[in-house]
Amino acid sequence: MADWTGILELDARKDQQGKTVTDHVYFQGAFKVQRPIYHNRSNQPCYYLLNPGGGYLDGDTYRMRLTVGEGAKVTLTTQSATKVYRTPTKYAYQEAETWIKKGGHLEYLPDPLIAYRDASYYQKNVFRMEKGSSLLYTDILTPGWSPDGEKFSYESLRLKNEIYLDDELIVFDHIHLNPGGEANKRIRLHGRLHAPWLVPDCRRAGRRGFAREIVCSH
């Protein structure tokens, strides 16, 4: 995509004192990151992603590139929930590609994704891990407020996650929620409003990992 709504690049490395520090950071458009915070005086920084535009709109596109260097430890989260508003002509899209070097550790813990009436959103995450690295990743999907009180008024949510260990695909996770489809009318998240996803610590991931594809649509 030639014109991105927002771009973010972040590289972190372990210094000689064992502290993880920022090696490179670049952002433009409606995608920013705060200066790292070291909670409880730890050596592991926490970076907060920001969207100064307040939410994702029709046709928005975002790209993120992250590298966790050898032995570095990083927490990445968001300042607030990600809000996807009405997308009448084209879905909002975000892609992220992450490299975690040997001995590196990433905790990617974004706040919930809130999809409002007539919103469509597609998210793709690719994690490229080296042997000896580890990853903890979570995601939560929830519907936004609707004027008619309908709890599932968004159009479509699609999340695709790929995790590679030494270039071998060990985890493939594909979720597509379309509340208007007959399957989702029956499921409706079993009466719940929130759909959580957790990719557990992958440092001990087996050679085969797991694959899952859930597509609920018309």
Q: How many domains does one find in the chain? A: 1
80/204: higher pLDDT: 80
Q: What is the mean pLDDT of the chain?
A: 86
**Span 163-183, pLDDT tens digits:** 999 999 999 989 888 887 654
Whether 205 is covered by a domain: the verdict is: yes
**Span 6-24, pLDDT tens digits:** 999 999 999 999 999 999 9
Q: Which of 194, 110, 122 is nearest to 152 (CA)?
A: 194
Whether 131 is covered by a domain: the verdict is: yes
Q: Indicate the pTM of the whole model.
A: 0.86
| Least confident piece of the model among 4-18, 38-52, 62-76, 172-186 | 172-186
Confidence of residue 147 (pLDDT cuts 50, 70, 90): confident
Structural domain of residue 149, as residue ranges? 6-216
pLDDT at 54: 85
Whether 191 is covered by a domain: the verdict is: yes
Whether 1 is covered by a domain: the verdict is: no
Say how many CA atoms lie within 13 Å of 110 toward its Cβ: 19
Whether 53 is covered by a domain: the verdict is: yes
The pairing of strands 46-50 and 32-33 is: antiparallel
C-alpha gyration radius of the chain: 18
pLDDT at residue 213 is higher than 90 = no
**In sequence order, which residues have a C-beta less than 8 Å from that of residue 66 and are 6 or more positions away?**
9, 10, 11, 74, 76, 96, 97, 98, 99, 106
178/108: higher pLDDT: 108
Whether 180 is covered by a domain: the verdict is: yes
| Cα 178 from Cα 173, distance rounded (Å) | 17
| Least confident piece of the model among 42-46, 160-164, 175-179, 210-214 | 210-214
pLDDT at 102: 96
Whether 193 is covered by a domain: the verdict is: yes
User: Which residue pairs from 10-13 have beta carbons closer than 8 angstroms and sit at least 24 positions apart in sequence?
Assistant: 10/47, 10/64, 10/65, 10/66, 10/67, 11/66, 11/67, 11/69, 12/45, 12/67, 12/68, 12/69, 12/72, 12/74, 13/69, 13/70, 13/72
pLDDT at 152: 81
The position carrying tokens 């990433």 is 106
| Cα 75 from Cα 108, distance rounded (Å) | 6
Strands (E) across 70-152 are located at 73-78, 82-84, 92-100, 105-109, 113-115, 120-129, 134-143
Whether 63 is covered by a domain: the verdict is: yes
pLDDT at residue 111 is higher than 50 = yes
pLDDT at residue 114 is higher than 50 = yes
pLDDT at residue 207 is higher than 50 = no
